[in-house]
Amino acid sequence: EAKPTTNLPRTARTNNAAERCNSLISNLILPFKVTLATMVINRFASKAISALRTQSSRGFSSTSSAEAKVAVLGAAGGIGQPLSLLCKLSPEVSELSCYDIVGTPGVAADLSHIPTHSSTTGSLPSPVSWPPRSNGGLEETLKGADVVVIPAGVPRKPGMTRDDLFNTNASIVKTLVEGCAEFCPDAMIAVISNPVNSTVPIAAEVLKKAGVYNPKKLVGVTTLDVCRANTFVANSQGLDPKDVDVTVIGGHAGITILPLFSRVDGAKFSDEQLEAITVRTQFGGDEVVAAKAGAGSATLSMAYAGYLFTENVLKAMRGEDIVQCAFVESSLTDASFFASPVKFGKDGVEEILPLGDLTPYEKQWFDKMMPELKKQIQKGVDFVSK
């Protein structure tokens, strides 16, 4: 049988063989290259996905989070829900514990879907039982709390004063603070429930009876008065509210609220303007009650103020220098409790700052306020002692 022959030169046949060899090697190596490239890409993709997941788990916080438990008592109410929402968003809060007589599990479930650092729980009062036992729901909420915020109570309606709220809200605050005395005696207690001029003394007397009263750990939240004063003066003077910090002293009701507008740098008022803005700050709550036409009182602004106060307290506990106005046991005046600038620290109230000089206009309001403030404080004391 004849053998096949080729007319190609020897050099051409050699080159052709080399090309076939290279092609064979390429076909063998190419899958390896693709596999290697895929492995590299997958590795970087995995790292990117992991980084995204980590970032997502941090939610809205752009700073390192602290470890602090905040309990909100009255968390399903008009103030309690937005206050709980803001606390859930705060990087200072690692555990948010909500309590109310109705609706709290739903509020907590809703909040728990927000991707932030803090966990959320919601508790209701334990059913009445025999033999009587402690309120397990309240105990679960308060155990281990660093700060307890109390917005619980009924809101004001048109024609009502804070004093009209006394009988209902006094009993609510008394019961809740008794729980604080039993389950978290070392926690900072921040009272929002009105009338603050009376409910804070009620809380003090309850804690004294339980033998756990610490004046450094009990405050009335008057931050809303500061927020209103800052807003009103900034609007009237064409200032940025962020650059304004009005000192507000006294109490947290009507004429017991005394904003010291004379200390606002760059602000100038006529006598009529000063009177108008002072009275508006004192009775700002009435403005909201009337505008809501019986549907409630200041809830959103109060929630924001309560959140600001709470977050500042937590920052102070971490070692930051914090000064803010608060209604505390005080020796600045002959009233046993008084709102003024207070320095907060790791253990609560660290220092009550000097009051400073008042203008003649401010002194007139101060003299008018003091008898009413002392009367409201005493009413709270008498409620517990009767």
From the candidates 225, 252, 259, 303, give the one annotated as an active-site residue.
252
310: nearest Cα among 63, 88, 76: 88
CB 177 within 8 A of CB 166: no
Counting Cα atoms < 13 Å in the Cβ hemisphere of 129 gives: 9
Q: Is 83 helix (H, G, I), strand (E, B) or coil?
A: helix
| Alpha carbon 274 to chain centroid, angstroms | 31
Q: Which of 379, 343, 344, 5 is nearest to 161 (CA)?
A: 379
Contact at 8 Å (CB) between 337 and 330?
Answer: yes
CB proximity list for 203: less than 8 A, separation 6 or greater: 173, 174, 177, 189, 191, 218
CB 212 within 8 A of CB 225: no
Clarify whether 252 is annotated catalytic. yes
Q: What is the dihedral of CA 292, 295, 300, 306, to 10 degrees?
A: 120
Distance of CA 212 to CAs 66, 70, 104, 331, 346, Å?
Answer: 26, 19, 28, 21, 18
DSSP 250-316: E-SSGGGEEE-GGGSTT----HHHHHHHHHHHHTHHHHHHHHTTTS-SS-HHHHHHHHHHHHHHHHH
For residue 256 the two structure tokens come to: 């017991």
Neighbouring residues of 307: CB distance < 8 A, sequence distance ≥ 6: 83, 86, 87, 90
Q: Give the relative orientation of helices 223-237 and 284-291 as an angle to the nearest 10 degrees.
A: 90
- Enumerate the active-site residues: 252
